[in-house]
Amino acid sequence: MSISSSLNAGVAGLQTNAQRLASISDNIANSSTFGYKRVETDFESMVLSGGGGSYAAGGVRANTQRLIDERGTLVSTSNATDLAVRGGGMLPVAQAAQVQTAGADAPMFLTTTGSFRTDSEGYLTSQSGLVLMGWPAATDGSIPPYPRDTADGLEPVRINTGQLAGNPTTAMSLGINLPATSTEADSAGAIEQISVEYFDNLGTSQSVNITFEPDVPALPGDPATNTWTMRMYDSTDPSVIIGQYELEFTDARVGGGSLADVTPSTTVPAGGSAPYDDTTGLLTINVAAGPIEIDIGALGDTEGLSQLSYNFAPISVTKDGSAIGNFVGVDVDANGFVRASFDTGEVRTIYQVPLINVPNPNGLQAFDSQTYTPTRQSGSFFLWDAGDGPTGDIVSFAREESTTDVAGELTDMIKTQRAYSSSAKVIQTVDEMLQETTNIKR
């Protein structure tokens, strides 16, 4: 009994060490594979004898586990859509072949890194055939609410490289100084004017033309009025006033030169000018393309319109919106927002890539190309915004290296080789002892 159990233990030693050598060879072979998670083989003893009497060797068995929760070193690259996860969480991807047949219904896989580039159909695809997945953005760039415990809202990220984009102007800010001397009694009362470009709904360049007319005292020696009339015109119909306001500035020691009062005209345009908010400094005009909100500065604030003893000076005049531009590139930020850039400087959010977390990453089922799927052992998955909850952030221009430590694997290989040889020696010894037992019968 003991001799045969020794033989069984020796055979088990051969089998388990062969299994360990297989995991070591896999690790070494993938030491340069981006995103590879090393496999670890552990041994555990088997006990057959219950104590007392003769001893029977139980042998050994091996348990192999892929350590998916280990993270490799991040290395920089030159491609904006080379992505890696720094911290917890994994990227959602799909197999390119399944995207071709199932589209948005392609099964979801998980990975921690990938080098994605647009293919012939615009999908962000890696060389191993993985397509990045994300939530599509609405037309205004916002991400609608999607379910977080299912992959139903995810779609393959598809980039339209021939896309044109324009953005209508909806807001302006006027930081302009009006000369204080123009409201004095001996002033010529010159009207100051400025034209501020805006873009309509089709990306066409238009302008809001603004005039500032000083209120000059009627009699010599009268004090300065510190008052101006601001009129606004749309370039699509320059003859029509779209907004008229009386601006009064203070000459007090505190806050001198800032707005003291803004009074909208009650008759111009028809129905009266839009109200002015003295707290926010905002008023709204209606051009042919729609409303535009204009910031002229709050009362007492010198960041907007001011009246100081200086020349007429457009100090800071800004606007949003852009003309029609051509697509020039795409990038992914730390929070997973996929942004398309255009040659006009316009940047649009087109997708958001979530990070997926499971309670037990080592329980995921491994597949080719460093991809994984959730299982009962891994627990149910949840889709997080990158950087929230237990997830890290997404790093572009980066790849995650293999978690294999070649030096450690070579050391384990030597130990495994010796253990295998020792088990073989046990089998050889048992064979010789059995041969002796056979010779006794002779």
Do 328 and 342 contact (CB within 8 A), yes or no? yes
State which amino acid sits at residue 60: V
Q: How far apart are alpha carbons 417 and 356 in whole angstroms?
A: 40
Determine the pLDDT at residue 231.
97
Burial class (CB within 10 angstroms; exposed 0-12, middle 13-18, buried 19+) of 63: exposed
Q: State yes or no: pLDDT of 51 exceeds 70.
A: no
Q: How far apart are alpha carbons 193 and 267 in whole angstroms?
A: 22
Do 338 and 329 contact (CB within 8 A), yes or no? no
Determine the pLDDT at residue 56.
75
- Span 284-309, average pLDDT: 94
Residue 337's contacts (CB-CB under 8 Å, 6 or more residues apart) are 349, 351, 352, 353
Determine the pLDDT at residue 440.
80
Q: State yes or no: pLDDT of 1 exceeds 60.
A: no
Determine the pLDDT at residue 234.
96
Determine the pLDDT at residue 159.
92
- Span 272-300, average pLDDT: 95
Q: How far apart are alpha carbons 309 and 36 in whole angstroms?
A: 69
Above pLDDT 70, what percent of the chain? 98
Query: 177-226: per-residue pLDDT in tens?
Result: 999 999 999 899 999 999 999 999 888 899 999 999 999 998 888 999 99
Listing DSSP states for 153-213 in one string gives T-EE-B--TT-EEEE---EEEEEEEEEGGGGSTT---PPEEEEEEEE-TTS-EEEEEEEEE
Q: How far apart are alpha carbons 357 and 378 in whole angstroms?
A: 10
Q: How far apart are alpha carbons 55 and 357 in whole angstroms?
A: 48
Q: State yes or no: pLDDT of 108 exceeds 70.
A: yes
Strand partners, 90: 356
Q: Where are the domains of the chain?
A: 2-67+403-441, 74-165+325-400, 169-320
Determine the pLDDT at residue 221.
84
Q: State yes or no: pLDDT of 18 exceeds 80.
A: yes
Q: What is the largest CA-CA distance in the chain?
A: 145
Burial class (CB within 10 angstroms; exposed 0-12, middle 13-18, buried 19+) of 309: exposed
Bigger pLDDT: 175 or 432? 175
Query: 429-439: per-residue pLDDT in tens?
Result: 877 788 877 78
Q: State yes or no: pLDDT of 115 exceeds 80.
A: yes
Confidence of residue 345 (pLDDT cuts 50, 70, 90): confident
Confidence of residue 427 (pLDDT cuts 50, 70, 90): confident
Structure token digits, residue 25: 């060879």
Determine the pLDDT at residue 376.
95
Q: State yes or no: pLDDT of 5 exceeds 80.
A: no
Taking only Cα atoms into account, the Rg of the chain, rounded to an integer number of angstroms, comes to 37
Determine the pLDDT at residue 53.
67
Query: 219-233: per-residue pLDDT in tens?
Result: 888 999 999 999 999
- Span 123-151, average pLDDT: 92
Determine the pLDDT at residue 104.
81
- The residue among 27, 99, 110, 92 whose CA lies nearest residue 365 is 110
* Phi, psi of 98, deg, nearest 5: -75, -30
Structure token digits, residue 156: 């393959």
- The residue among 367, 337, 332 whose CA lies nearest residue 115 is 332
Listing DSSP states for 274-287 in one string gives PP-BTTTTEEEEEE
Angle, alpha carbons 127-136-103 (nearest 5°): 55
Determine the pLDDT at residue 50.
62
Q: How far apart are alpha carbons 206 and 196 in whole angstroms?
A: 8
The number of helices, as runs of H, and strands, as runs of E, in the chain is: 3, 31
Q: State yes or no: pLDDT of 83 exceeds 90.
A: yes
Query: 400-413: per-residue pLDDT in tens?
Result: 999 999 999 999 99
Q: State yes or no: pLDDT of 378 exceeds 70.
A: yes
- Indicate the CATH number for domain 169-320: 2.60.98.20
Helix (H, G, I), strand (E, B) or coil at 425: helix
Above pLDDT 90, what percent of the chain? 71
Determine the pLDDT at residue 257.
94
- Span 146-172, average pLDDT: 89
Confidence of residue 52 (pLDDT cuts 50, 70, 90): low
